[in-house]
Structure 1
């Protein structure tokens, strides 16, 4: 750095960041795999195929790569020109095939008859091969490939999913044979041998009889392979029509159970054989159809273990609605037709690069944001009348809702769930939540759901030891127990648990139109020794502490989400330096697109607590984050975790008396908004709530009316948020080296920072001056990149925000005096305990500026290269 004015001193920033060693991911070679794609609930069509399957699975840290040629529409048989293309629901399917034809192997595919119903055993399905119908014999769950004896042709699976381009991924569910189209207009290919004749194509009338909830051999197979990403369609309770009779289908997974019964309002919660489920899968799926249960009835499962014992009745893991706590029965619920009005929002969302868009997140706990006058919860509908308008007025771009899965204990904040498909009934029914999200989208507010795939509640009615033994949790007790939170850890290496969780993630996107997931406690998922002392854990097969199957699960999760929703937000709350969280799996990453920067949060919050007289000794805390800023795509979080359990509210973290606390808060927030990275603040911070957050009561909204400083603080946040949204320099190049440049980083003596934020246009450049002391500095010289006129765009010391009013209302003109590695300089007044934002009002076009721009461009190109 160049010399600093006003006696500034230099410090040397450390350039090393501790990182966790990568898990040794080499593994023995495995058989070649191929992926086959198709779609359910659709027209049966078979097409000519021009595909090749060259899929090889490498070591565990390497992305499964698939390359296949796409089928164009002209290749489809002329008699099959009418193809129903559906892109709404896509499900990834993986079939195992060897690298050479196998003899005497069989394949089983489920098809539905048109207009006529044919009875068959549950384990046997019918398969059409060419235009002649042949019977396929019963096969094992391994689903091996069958050779076409009639034509002596090998049945080949075709794959179109290219992992190198997530947006181009196509995933399919083979239950009905159909050509499907991905969002980038690529077509999947199927072999000619699988095409039906024109007469075999399902008519619109036939489609009315198609039932998503039917448990076919194929989707059962996918479930047990961890690849059924719509598992909620076949498991749980569903109001359906079977043979023109209306009833309810129940299905659950309990692999070690000896018997399973449904108990509920329809049988007074008594166990009897009339409501005994049938085991339809060797791997533990139990199912039954009953006519007496009806929508609205409460129910549970009586699961009898292998020894004939049954414990507490179990809530349905796949229930989509549940009783209000302290009761915990599941409720038979048929989703209502809901009219979404967010088509424009979805269309716009699907066009953007999320990393180059503004992301200013308001984290909220619905149960304590606001409450009724009697202290009870507001309903989803009541919240929808006030929250969207409030967020729009305050200038937030997104809302992150703390977990809404059903959970028994309010004090868990939703992080210890029992019903992952059931929006908590504390605030109403699923349609109420859809209404809330719909209205948020109408106000151009994105919705992020807090989601917990790492651990679950141990209450006896939930997932815990569902069939009397470890089912959803790990078999080994040391791995199952999460002592830190008193919960159980999901067995992320178990295929059925993978189907359960990935289906659930996609459920929130598909059924509730959420825009992203914030994945909780990723560190506890990744590390075998997380919160465990030496001797309490065992290393992986390579001797490391990485949870290998969990790593693969997270990759699989993100691939599944991005294949269907390329512009989704997948945000990891990861508190260590595990590498490549936001890199794609093909680059040995986990596949998230954003990560919370916990290091920045811890360092900066420690800094603002310190007496300004001693901050010079801790200057590194406020600058160090830029040393690793581009290692990941970061979110800067000021979350609920930082305002509870004795940590104090955000305003009370600030040093000093009342004036210094509020001035410090404003200066800190100005600095945070200027720092590269997306933003998140917890509810109540925007008006400086004084007490810590309490989940059992609403925020201190009365402070805004009672105290002028809180009202002014709310105005400050509103104006700062608007400034952020309106200026691309704040966010367009957050994750690009060109978007940030230090002008003065090392002035620890005066605790002053100066830096620029840039967009792709020079005239949108902003200069931030942050003063973390209560001293006013006059004629303070700073370097600037352009010769021209500058204006004060924003000043946190403005009196309308409660500041001292040290503002500059006269134009600032740069001088031809190089300073601080900049070609020009300007003298300014630096307000006390404040952040000042300057903007280039007019760049004087001359040869010097042209040369400067040329130099900057060349510098940027070199950095990119």
Structure 2
């Protein structure tokens, strides 16, 4: 039996039960200490708990009855007098009704590869992080609001496979995806959930192992290697993490002691019928400690740069309530979570997925907010895609889809997303959503991504869209990399690369993302021509950019647009450049502003504006007239 004096003290147990423990993984689960292996599990209101260990060399089960902790009858422990590294294990729990359940360890740090599900005894990691990684983890970055952020959303299992069809390991992935993402101009990778899960097609969102990196792609140390290589290449890495709901599979958390333990005790809030998952009961201190500890574990142990937190709708709003009543319990938990992470990991970036627009998700807790840094902009994503799916001749009637987002943009800090959810279940890829001929689709995809980059907010793009993936995303072996054999797709990849490179170099496109003074409409209401024009500003006047987006299939050879001051304006970017597949040569285009007030500006310029084109103009401060 473990001595409570060197493990779970009275103080630690109180922290666990009252929802204050952030490192429960150090006390619960399996741990090798010398020639002994300790097992600790929280299992209240049960008759007995037995740990069943199996040495995979001989596949013989050994049973070790556990005893309750001397200070806490809800915690069961045992010290097995041998070193069991690599052993598979489960807990056999006998309920008060004499039913025997086999459960994996909620705090397991490794798990068998599906379809097997047992937990695996792991030694403490001896992975040595470089000093540069450790130093960066200690350095808060309050300036990320004013820096470029272009996130590549990655599903590891379907990005690319080996020639034999095998998953890439974390180490193999590091050698392939990091150079690719860096070359394409992205600043961050967001990894879709890699917490252990039984079903590939759940994409990782139905978790069974909240402390266990999925064994599909290798070991925990392999994952650390991948994270380290991201950091060495100056690529930030976020983990998609699911704090609100979990998998219903009975070998894991569901009905852990024969009754709702981790899941909601209120039946009407327990199940998510759309997802087939169970909601956590965040009123229980032990569940809060479990989730807090999971979040800290991934940052402490694996050095991720932050989280995108999935499906917060059932924490921000009462589950299964058609009136969308605010969920006081869920919001209180999220504030506890974000406050804890901000305190202990000030360098971490916290991103929320909230599709129902809870107020002040990115507001400071002290001012009534929830404490996230960013949230996904679902409104913008849905409006813009509906607009672009509309045939050009009919876009004038839905022109408000293009300009509406600015009405609410400055209420939160947003990430403009084109995420995986938009390219599944018959919705088509970005390219294939667009109307028109094959060539027109590419013209419009460049226009759409140009508008995405020019619009205020950080950026996220799902894998494959950067080169014009034609089919929607399915859980197929890998992306359609053979499309690089076709010129149009190679040009699309080149365009995305140069667009993101341009974005990272123009401070007007990111420096004042969350400040009203960083944006001004020139003409938001030109529905007749299906054109939107606006100004983006940085902190210096020299950064100011004029953006003109022609969403119509009409060419406007003498398009007039207002500009803030007199001088020479130069086109610095266009989605219509010929090497992208457009019709314009990439050469300096200069126009002189004239004193012809337009768009509420004192000056205006006339430009050539091809169909389906986004162009960006900037005052050339070194020229006083057109040469």
TM category, shorter? over 0.9
State the TM-score, normalizing by the size of structure 1.
0.70
Counterpart CA distance in 2 for 1:523 and 1:355 is 24
Deviation at 1:832, TM superposition (A): 1.3
- Structure 2: state its 5+ residue gaps: none
Deviation at 1:819, TM superposition (A): 2.0
**Residue 830, structure 1, aligned to residue 609, structure 2:** yes
**Residue of structure 2 aligned with 1:813, choices 581, 589, 592:** 592
Contact kept, 8 Å, 1:256 with 1:469, in 2: the verdict is no
Q: Following superposition of structure 1 onto structure 2, how do residues 296-307 of structure 1 map, counting pairs within 5 Å?
A: 296-307=86-97
**Residue 629, structure 1, aligned to residue 422, structure 2:** no
**Residue of structure 2 aligned with 1:222, choices 3, 10, 15:** 15
**Residue 732, structure 1, aligned to residue 511, structure 2:** yes
Q: Following superposition of structure 1 onto structure 2, how do residues 744-823 of structure 1 map, counting pairs within 5 Å?
A: 744-805=523-584, 809-823=588-602
Counterpart CA distance in 2 for 1:619 and 1:563 is 44
Q: Following superposition of structure 1 onto structure 2, how do residues 125-274 of structure 1 map, counting pairs within 5 Å?
A: 214-241=7-34, 246-265=35-54, 270=61, 272=63, 274=64
Counterpart CA distance in 1 for 2:520 and 2:601 is 11
**Residue of structure 2 aligned with 1:435, choices 225, 230, 239:** 225
Q: Following superposition of structure 1 onto structure 2, how do residues 164-563 of structure 1 map, counting pairs within 5 Å?
A: 214-241=7-34, 246-265=35-54, 270=61, 272=63, 274-282=64-72, 284-311=74-101, 313-341=102-130, 343=132, 346=136, 350-530=140-320, 545-563=325-343
Change (3 A) 1:515 1:389: same
Change (3 A) 1:461 1:121: closer
**Residue 702, structure 1, aligned to residue 482, structure 2:** yes
Deviation at 1:475, TM superposition (A): 1.6
Change (3 A) 1:574 1:342: farther
Counterpart CA distance in 2 for 1:441 and 1:120 is 39
**Residue of structure 2 aligned with 1:676, choices 456, 459, 463:** 456
Contact kept, 8 Å, 1:361 with 1:397, in 2: the verdict is yes
Return 781-790 or 317-326, whichever deviates more.
781-790
1:68 corresponds in structure 2 to none
Counterpart CA distance in 2 for 1:227 and 1:470 is 21
What RMSD in Å do the two structures reach over aligned CA positions? 2.0
Deviation at 1:779, TM superposition (A): 2.1
SS at match of 1:549: helix
Counterpart CA distance in 2 for 1:528 and 1:271 is 44
Q: Which has the larger radius of gyration?
A: 1
Counterpart CA distance in 2 for 1:717 and 1:533 is 41
Deviation at 1:276, TM superposition (A): 2.5
**In the comparison of the two structures, how many residue pairs are matched?**
622
Change (3 A) 1:265 1:843: same
Counterpart CA distance in 2 for 1:465 and 1:598 is 34
SS at match of 1:589: coil
**Residue of structure 1 aligned with 2:427, choices 647, 650, 665:** 647
Change (3 A) 1:552 1:269: farther
Counterpart CA distance in 1 for 2:308 and 2:466 is 21
Contact kept, 8 Å, 2:54 with 2:61, in 1: the verdict is no
SS at match of 1:717: helix
Deviation string 1:312-368 (CA, Å, 9 cap, x unpaired) is x11111011111100011111113322223626716962442211111000000000
Contact kept, 8 Å, 2:150 with 2:187, in 1: the verdict is yes
Deviation string 1:540-573 (CA, Å, 9 cap, x unpaired) is xxxx822221110000000000001223211110
Counterpart CA distance in 1 for 2:429 and 2:566 is 43
SS at match of 2:410: coil
Counterpart CA distance in 2 for 1:525 and 1:280 is 35
**Residue 577, structure 1, aligned to residue 370, structure 2:** no
Please state which structure has a larger fraction of its residues in strand.
2
Counterpart CA distance in 1 for 2:416 and 2:290 is 31
Contact kept, 8 Å, 1:342 with 1:441, in 2: the verdict is no
SS at match of 1:518: strand
Deviation string 1:260-295 (CA, Å, 9 cap, x unpaired) is 1110115966574x4424344546111111123411
SS at match of 1:258: strand
Deviation at 1:457, TM superposition (A): 0.6
SS at match of 2:103: coil
SS at match of 1:384: helix
1:588 corresponds in structure 2 to 368
Deviation at 1:120, TM superposition (A): 11
SS at match of 2:572: strand
SS at match of 1:265: strand
Which stretches of structure 1, 4 residues or more, deviate above 6 A after TM superposition?
843-846
Counterpart CA distance in 2 for 1:255 and 1:261 is 14
Deviation at 1:769, TM superposition (A): 0.5
Change (3 A) 1:642 1:121: closer
